[in-house]
Amino acid sequence: MRQRPHARTLVAAVALAAAMLLRPAGASAGAGAQPLPVVTPRPGLVITRSVRIAPGTYRLPGHASLDSALLTVRGSDITVDLRGVTFIGVPPDSAPDAARGTAVRIDGGRNVRIRALTAHGYRVGILARNVRGLTLEGNDVSHSWKPRLFSLVEHESLADWLSYHRNEEDEWLRFGAGIYLRGVTGGRITGNTVRQSMNGLLLSHSDSLDIRGNDFSYNSGLGIGLYRASWHTIVENRADYAVRGSSHGFFQRGQDSAALLMFEQSQHNVVAYNSMTHGGDGLFLWAGQQTMDTGQGGSNDNLFLMNDFSYAPTNGMEATFSRNAFVGNRVVGSTHGLWGGYSYGSRVVGNCFGGNRIGIAVEHGQDNLIGGNHFMGDAVGVRLWADSIEPSDWGYPKHRDTRSRDWRIVENTFTQVAEPWRIANTSVLDTSRNVVRDTSTGECDPARIVPTTAWWRLPVIRNAPVRWPEAPNTRRDRRAIVIDEWGPYDWRSPKLWPVDSTRAFPLRLQVIGPAGRWRVVAQRGLAQLSARAGRMGDTLTVTPHVDSTGDWRVTLEYRGGPTVSPRGVRTAAGVPVRFVYEHFEPRQRWTQRIHVFTDSTHPFTAPGAFDRLLRGEPRLTRDAPRLDWMWSRPRDTSIPASSFAMEATTELTLPPGAYTVRTLSDDAVRVWIDEVLAIDHWRPHETSPAYATVRGGTHRLRVQYVQLGGWVELRLDILRGVVRRSEGSAGPH
């Protein structure tokens, strides 16, 4: 049985945090009085002394191997000055998942400084291993690799879910990053930018870095990720809109994206005054597999101070199986403000939770304090519980007492909260000195919270900002999250986006982007438009011709302020920018025949009997306008949950040209085009894509699909042109 920590434990943690925040960052490495020698970059250049790279734009494709960088830095006391240098790995109009290779690699050494690099179109912008005293300042390595996403407005695909659970052997490198650091001790990461990539900054087996004043926003995976990374100071950064797996009105799941990920015993970090809004999770902290197996360790003793984790589709903060302090944070408009399953000895003090479905939710938590917080308009303020049955494959509950017990919920204010607390299967509970009221007191702002007990007060840290850095769109609600096939939209360029379903008739499209005006300059296949010109923010209603509902296009022109395209192309204010919305879905009518198989007719162990089964009488026959299945449990009770097969046929006519047939499936699929096997994705697999090409004309398609059990997903898309065969997210490893 753990003893209850004394209040002074938190005071000690705050004092340590203040010391870390005030610790000198150190002198810039390699700076000298003499001008640096100038060198011209070339692929494979190895730098062993301080240099300046000759300014210019260099189109240098990355190597297939991440270890073969354009520039490799080896040695100590080296400064590489890259002011005015831009490396382009792939052209801006390339698919983002075509990026490859590494721009700059730092291989060991001490006191290495990389300054003012601009590099776009690489799998990894800056890769550093085993460096002591690393300084990265003012680098822009945006538009690094990111995968195509397969989730649509109405259809969430499991192909997009992420797994960061292992990184002992640099498995995270498969996800790419603007900056990836392994085995780095000490130094400064400041003023860097990574946007429109999958990951901003990834830290593995590293410690004691001062990370401040960076922008890691609008990435489709993580803003900042830590794995066995401790004693870092993460202050005054932006990591907003690090998100995927969210479609307003249809699904809000996040798919394990996060503004800040802390995995596998990342400890003693100070995370303060950061803006981390609209992330899949704002904070996603997990103790790690070793803790799950043994019950020992955790991602412990981290301090989260005065951050904004608002508008997460899932959890503003998630911190599980660990002991941490959460002081003065803002969490508004999320599903859960804080999800703290199995947390213990944690302090949740002086935060503001507003408009969340549940402010704080903790299962199997122990010896935690929820004190001096303000809950405003949450449906439930605090929910605590313990389940009678825990997962049998977890080692953690076999080695630990996991009862829900020893809670203090004291001196909190619940304003317009329908249910201040909901508590079940919890023992030893103090709920004294809380205030419940019906009248709002204004905005949810931790700076306005003044706890009555002295040791709950927010620490005063010299040279710290007044609050987190705000940016455009950080105060908008979750409807501002717009995710297309390449990740989160950053609102810096004009875009047409469905107001609700993409299959509505007529279809409503909102004109979104920077302030300005728009006008229609071209259209095809439309019977009617609700307007021909207007202002940004308008809703445009389009009605396709009856005979072209599956193939239409509208082109608009924007004039207004400066824009930056999702691929990084800049356009000056007043210069017209064209943008398009198009729909292509050839008319189809699928006849679907559903069969149930047994061991004797199993598709993989008895293929002959399975073929005979499909030629027999089906359990169910039905017609559908498209192949688009996705469920964990069938809504149609006539379809079994497992061990079934479906064979579907259709005939479609395509205009002249080239097209791509793409399937997404879990567990197995194969497709015949005019009785020629074109897609053979027949081994059991998790959700993943497969491709075939076809020319224009009339074709007969036949699809066989097998579901063994679990998640059901089958989608068949007809895409115009020969589409790059994207595999999507790198998946579990």
Q: Are 731 and 256 in contact (CB under 8 A)?
A: no
Closest CA to 614 of 705, 685, 677, 683: 705
Both structure tokens of 6: 């004394």
**Tokens 């085993």 sit on residue:** 130
Helix (H/G/I), strand (E/B), else coil: 416: coil
In the chain, what are the domain boundaries? 492-583, 590-720
Half-sphere exposure at residue 16, Cβ-oriented, CA atoms within 13 angstroms: 18
* Ranges in the chain, pLDDT < 50: 1-32, 733
Q: Are 706 and 667 in contact (CB under 8 A)?
A: yes
The DSSP line for 76-136 is SSEEEEEEEEEEESS-TTS-GGG--SEEEEEES-EEEEEEEEEEES-SEEEEEES-EEEEE
Q: How many CB atoms lie within 10 A of CB 155?
A: 17
Both structure tokens of 353: 């939770």
Burial of residue 526 (CB within 10 Å: 0-12, 13-18, 19+) is: middle
pLDDT computed for residue 34 by the predictor = 82
Q: Cα separation of 318 and 286, whole Å?
A: 8
Both structure tokens of 497: 């986006």
CA distances from 16 to 9, 101, 207, 303, 453 (A): 11, 40, 15, 10, 20
CA distances from 186 to 111, 153, 229 (A): 9, 43, 12
Three-class secondary structure assignment of 436-494: EECCCCCCCCHHHCCCCCHHHCCCCCCCCCCCCCCCCCCCCCHHHCCEECCEECCCCCC
Closest CA to 509 of 479, 553, 540: 540
pLDDT computed for residue 730 by the predictor = 72
Closest CA to 2 of 366, 316, 483, 362: 366
For 590-720, CATH number? 2.60.120.260
For residue 664, list its beta bridge partners: 689, 715
Both structure tokens of 51: 């240099």
pTM, entire model: 0.93
Half-sphere exposure at residue 278, Cβ-oriented, CA atoms within 13 angstroms: 30
Q: Cα separation of 461 and 471, whole Å?
A: 23
Element (H, E) at 18: helix 8-22
Ramachandran area for residue 97 (φ above 0: left; ψ -120 to 50: alpha; else beta): alpha
Both structure tokens of 386: 């313990």
Burial of residue 383 (CB within 10 Å: 0-12, 13-18, 19+) is: buried
Q: What is the DSSP letter of 503?
A: T
Q: Are 413 and 456 in contact (CB under 8 A)?
A: no
pLDDT computed for residue 360 by the predictor = 98
Q: What is the DSSP letter of 608?
A: H
Beta strands (DSSP E) in 250-322 are 251-252, 258-263, 270-272, 281-286, 303-305, 315-320
Q: What is the CA radius of gyration of the chain?
A: 27
Q: Cα separation of 602 and 608, whole Å?
A: 9
